[in-house]
Amino acid sequence: MKDNNDMPGHLARRFQQIAVAVFHAEVEEAGYDLTPVQYAALAAVSTNPGIDQITLAGLIAYDRTTITGVVDRLAQKGLLERRASSRDRRARELQVTEKGRQTLEAVSPAVEAAQELLVRGLTGDEQQELMRLLRKAIAAGNELSRAPLRDVSAESSRSG
């Protein structure tokens, strides 16, 4: 029988588990209550003001049913505003509030620290290599998940 440590799926789960734990610890220590998922969403909206939920989901590879709850909670915390689009009445345009902007800025060092802590067992070269290999494996498997990453730079890439 194969050992768990020989199964990339098991290693993936463990690595992610630690990533979330480290993120929580660092962000909480900084005095904030933001999950990794909420942070990523908030940061993405900050970079792309007025983005709709589906595009946001594609940008950070979330399922569209997951985004609903995440945006709900961010809006409830007053970090995000959600209003109906004038061009498409189905869509909701997202905007970061002033409080959201401040939070994002204040929490950034903790997020950075969490990223470094996650790979602190590796040398600098190893860290780079790990990220390269993860990116490569992810790129090859991107379409296998229900929530693939979508390139937002090409406006019409999703309607093709």
Partner DNA sequence: TACTGATCGTCAGTATGCTGTCAAGAATTC
Partner DNA sequence: GAATTCTTGACAGCATACTGACGATCAGTA
Residues of this chain that interact with DNA (CB under 7 A) are 13, 17, 20-21, 24, 35-38, 52-55, 62-71, 73, 82, 85, 88-92, 145-147, 158-159
CA distance 79 to 101: 8
| Structure tokens that stand for 46 in this block | 């900050």
Among 64, 99, 101, 146, binds a copy of itself (CB under 8 A): 146
Q: Which residue among 91, 113, 138, 152 contacts a copy of itself (CB under 8 A)? A: 138
Determine, following the binding rule CB under 8 A, whether residue 18 of this chain makes contact with a copy of itself: yes
Q: Choose the contact partner of 14 out of a copy of itself, DNA, none; CB within 5 to 8 A by kind.
A: a copy of itself
Check if the beta carbon of residue 96 is closer than 8 Å to that of residue 79. Answer: yes
Extract the tokens encoding 73: 């909670």
Which range in 67-75, 77-85, 93-101, 146-154 contacts a copy of itself by CB under 8 A? 146-154
Question: Which residues does residue 96 pair with via DSSP β-bridges, in sequence order?
Answer: 80
Q: Which of 30, 32, 35, 36 binds a copy of itself (CB under 8 A)?
A: 36
Nearer to DNA, 108 or 157 (CB): 157
CB 131 within 8 A of CB 139: no
**Footprint of a copy of itself on 38-97 (CB under 8 A):** 40, 43, 47, 60-61
For residue 63, how many C-alpha atoms fall within 13 Å in the half-sphere facing its CB? 6
- Give the shortest CB-104-to-DNA separation in angstroms: 15
